[in-house]
Amino acid sequence: MDSRGFHVECRLDAVDAAMAAVCAFAGDALAPDDLIRLEIALTEALTNIVLHGGLPPGAGIGVTVRKVPSGVSVEIRDPGRPVPADLFQAARDPADLDPLAESGRGIPLIVALSDALHYEGRDGANRLTLRFGGRDA
Amino acid sequence: MIHSHVRPHGICIIRPEGDRLTALGANAFRQEASDLIDAGSNRIVIDLSAVRFVDSSGLGAIVGLLKKVGNRGEVVVCGLGDAVRQMFRVTRMERVFQIFPDADAAVAALDG
């Protein structure tokens, strides 16, 4: 199983740079539409951590991308504040949000565009795992 | 952060700089485009043909411009690539914005 780790500094420009590297690595394991879903969901997840994660000074974000038989699994680790227990379960469909809202779409997009999502926060670390691929067209 | 060009009849074409409109540059894009609206532009084409990717912050900035113009004018978008179109589709922005294939088509529609 092919995998690669990425270290993302807690800055918005580092998110954009990391996404280019992640997509280059994952591109041959996903259909084009699945890769777009990964790019949107992972960008939203990393941006949320940078803007709202409350990471300690100097701390970064770890991303591990694994090519699995049905697509790609992405694990995101950060040492910031734990998220509310129901944050992802309570997310609304992005299509149901106020279309004129200027914010608040990040978590709904992560949930809607990933094929599986698991979050675990313990021992001072957050671990979000997203899977992409295998969705019927 | 943006390139702007005013066509005849006051239609302003705005092109974000760079191939990603994300949280990194969304505020600057919004501010610069907002300054154009304050200066009198209220028929606006946002040309995304050079933008490969838009995140929710970029989308929020575009929505903010639509709200700022309100019923004083129009804001339309054009040149959506695959990733941007998927973002518009999943957030139902296709119901909010008129979308055109390119700037010429958008200008023709606004001018029609």
* pLDDT, tens digit, 9 for 90 and up, residues A84-109: 889 999 999 999 999 999 999 999 99
Which of B57, B52, B62, B54 minimizes the C-alpha distance to B98? B62
ipTM of predicted complex:
0.94
| Predicted local distance difference test score (pLDDT) of residue B2 | 87
Q: Is residue B112 part of a domain?
A: no
Whether A136 has a pLDDT exceeding 70, the answer reads no
**Record: contact B86-A105, CB cut-off 8 A:** no
Q: Is residue A94 part of a domain?
A: yes
In chain A, which residues have their Cβ closer than 8 Å to the Cβ of B69?
A: none
The interface residues of chain B toward chain A in range 36-75, judged by CB-CB distance below 8 A, are 53, 55-57, 59-61, 63-64, 66-67
Confidence of residue B25 (pLDDT cuts 50, 70, 90): very high
Whether A118 has a pLDDT exceeding 70, the answer reads yes
| Predicted local distance difference test score (pLDDT) of residue A137 | 47
Question: For the CA atoms of A103, A106, A108, A112, what is the dihedral angle to 10 degrees?
Answer: 140
**Record: contact A40-B55, CB cut-off 8 A:** yes
Q: Is residue A137 part of a domain?
A: no
| Predicted local distance difference test score (pLDDT) of residue B8 | 77
pLDDT, tens digit (0-9, with 9 covering 90-100), for B68-111:
999 999 999 999 999 999 999 999 999 999 999 999 999 999 98
Mean pLDDT of chain B: 95
pLDDT, tens digit (0-9, with 9 covering 90-100), for A56-83:
999 999 999 999 998 999 999 999 999 9
Q: Is residue A122 part of a domain?
A: yes
Q: Is residue B31 part of a domain?
A: yes
A112 within 8 A of B92, measured Cβ to Cβ: no
In chain B, which residues have their Cβ closer than 8 Å to the Cβ of A94?
A: 90-92
| Predicted local distance difference test score (pLDDT) of residue A6 | 98
Residue A123 contacts B where some CB pair is shorter than 8 Å: no
Q: Tell me how far apart the alpha carbons of residues A67 and B1 are, in angstroms, rounded to a whole number.
A: 36
Q: Is residue A47 part of a domain?
A: yes
Whether B5 has a pLDDT exceeding 90, the answer reads no
Range of the structural domain that residue B56 is part of: 2-104
Q: What total number of domains does chain A contain?
A: 1
Closest approach of chain A CAs to the CA of B8, in angstroms?
29
> CATH number for the domain including A62?
3.30.565.10
Beta bridge partners of B56: none
Q: What total number of domains does chain B contain?
A: 1
> CATH number for the domain including B87?
3.30.750.24
Q: Is residue B75 part of a domain?
A: yes
- The b-or-e profile of A64-89 (16+ CB within 10 A means b, else e) is ebbbeeebbbbbbbbbbeebeeeebe
DSSP-derived letter for residue A115 is: S
B81 within 8 A of B51, measured Cβ to Cβ: yes
A126 within 8 A of A119, measured Cβ to Cβ: yes
Range of the structural domain that residue A110 is part of: 3-132
